Structure formats: structure tokens, C-alpha cells
Amino acid sequence: MKNLREIRMAILAERGTETLLKDSFQQLGAFPLIAYDSALMEEEAIPEGAIPFERALQRDDITGIAIEASLESSIEMAKQALLSGKDVVMLGFPTFEKQRLEELFEIAEGSEKVILAGFGLEYHPAIEKLNEIVKSGELGRVLYIYCDRAASFLSQSLFREEIAASLIRVLGESPEEVSTMEGPVVAGPGSMTFLKFPQQTRAHIFIGRSAENRIVVCGEKKAAFLGLGEKVVDLTLYNQPAAHDEKVPTFERAEGIPVTIPRLDSGLALAKAFLDRCNGSSVSEDLQKSIAVANVLDAIEASVRANGLPKLVKEVASI
């Protein structure tokens, strides 16, 4: 098991994001510093105290690399980092083929290194607790999940990916069909994604300026409400089953029971999940979960290109 004092992170991200990641790792005692891609960044834009990515790979005191997946060369940089003996965490899911994802995990396994790809929300203690509640049967059979996220049109794809990944973690399975429409949705520009899961659970992901920041799990016995604040995520249970409005279960908040969870923001949750894996926690589920998310995102993009027509999601092994 590694001591946190032995973990030093190099952060490779776009301006703004690197500060968030640096603060998160710093709070956990991982001694972060900023790295940059010398092939892409102009000299005047280099953050003070930052080092080139190539130098970060050469330094023995740097044990981990954090890479923002939206960067153009993120996959190749992740591969270089693993081959250089570094643990790797990727913020988000880059666009790539399943074979490239499997290649990264094979390199990590062969070198006994960690690779983690995803968003902070899906690793947040509230999502983990919600998964426990769903698996325990306390809510009864899950009928419908409302997922609403306030965001601008330009950032809707990123938030849609984050919520989709979190849903897979909550239910422990991937949807079998999705359909996504973009444009004027409900009130103003945004997107609406409908998901159909194997156990007949259905869900929607609404991204738009007018959206309420929430994930609501409607069960036959109870409901769970996850409030998505900017810095805090709150989880509340309600002792009433979902009502039915035509084919879609509906939910109205009454007096609820708060569930105690650690107060982490999403950046800190992702950093903690990564460091836990560096310290020996199981990573066996990470490959199948990452492939499942990648397949869902592929199907969503195919549906967008087809003007909202439903698209099947490629099957993966048990998550």
C-alpha cells in the first residue's frame, strides 16, 4: 500500500480545469503540479511553475498523471504515461474505439498500474450510496429515473456523459436502447435523452438552462432524490411510491429522510476514487464499466445524427 506522501500527481488539462484537479489532489495530500503539452501550448500560455509532459514522464517522484479527456491527444498521452510506469486518471470519456480502451487497460494490468476514466459525480459517495439502496430493494422495483441538469447548450454533451455514466453505476447495468434529441427542448435550447434498461427501468436525461439539478429514482415502494448542487450533493429518501401519470411515473416531494453522506465536490470524489485504487482497491469493474459508458455515448451520438431515432447499445459483460 502506498503512503499518500509518496503519491505526486502531474495534472494535464485545459486552463481552468487544472486548478480544480490540483486543488482536489492537494486536499488529499498527493502533492500535485501542473504539466502541459509542449506541442499544443504557446509559451505565453504556460501556467507558472508548470513542466512539460515529457519531463513529467521522466521524473521518478511523479507517480500519477491526471489527463483531461477532451484534450486532442489524451489517449496517446495516457498510453505514454502507463508505459512510463505512471498511474493514470482521465477526467471524462474521450472519443475512441473500444479496442483502444481495452489496450489501455491491458497495458495497466500488465504493468500493475491503475487507469481510471470517468467523472467525479459517478464516484461520489452519494452515487455509491444510491447504488446500495437500489440493490438492497428498499425502493422496490425501480420504475423511472428523472435526471435533470442545468447547463448551457455548449456544455450539454459533457453533462449528458456525466449523468449517463452515473446512471450505469446506480443501476449496475447498461441501457439497451437510447434516443437523444437536441435543439429547442421543453424550454429553450438543450437536449433530451431517453434510456431503456433491460429490467424495464426507464430514464431520461434533460440538459438545459431551465433544468432542475436532480436525479430522482422512482421505485414501487419509495423514492430517492439526489440534489446536485455546485459544491454539495444531497441525498433524501421519501416513504411514498411513485404515482403514475399515463405511462410515466411521477414524483412529488413531501417530507423526506436525509441520508448522511460525506460532503465532497465532484473533483474531490474523482481524485479520492483514483487514489483509493492506487492504494490497492479493486479495479476489476473499471474496464467493463468504461466500455459500457463508451458504448452508451456512441449510441447517443448515433441517435443525435439520426435526429432522435432510437439506437441500440452494444452489449457488454456484467458490470
Q: Examine the pLDDT at 127 and tell me if it is beyond 50.
A: yes
Enter the pTM of the model.
0.82
Question: Which residues are CB-contacts of 262 (< 8 A; sequence separation ≥ 6)?
Answer: 125
Which CATH number describes the domain made up of 4-118?
3.40.50.720
Return the ∠ at Cα 297 (arms to 296 and 298), rounded to 5°: 90
Q: Is the pLDDT confidence value at 13 over 60?
A: yes
Measured CA distances, 144 to 150, 196, 201 (Å): 20, 10, 6
| DSSP H helices in 140-283 | 156-171, 266-278
pLDDT digits (tens, 9 = 90+) for 214-268: 899 999 899 999 988 766 678 999 987 766 655 666 666 678 899 988 877 778 8
Residue from 256, 199, 267, 202 nearest 233 by CA: 267
Question: Do residues 84 and 54 lie in contact, with contact meaning Cβ atoms separated by under 8 Å?
Answer: no
Which of the residue ranges 7-11, 241-245, 310-314 would you say has the lowest mean pLDDT? 241-245
Q: Are 78 and 67 in contact (CB under 8 A)?
A: yes
- With 0-12 / 13-18 / 19 or more C-beta atoms within 10 angstroms meaning exposed / middle / buried, residue 73 is middle
The domain segmentation of the chain, as residue ranges, is 4-118, 122-265+300-312
CATH number assigned to the domain with residue range 122-265+300-312, chosen from the 4 options 3.40.50.2000, 3.30.360.10, 3.30.1490.20, 3.90.480.10:
3.30.360.10
Residue recorded with cell 476514487: 273
* pLDDT tens digits along 144-181: 999 988 877 667 777 888 899 899 989 989 999 999 98
pLDDT at res. 20: 75
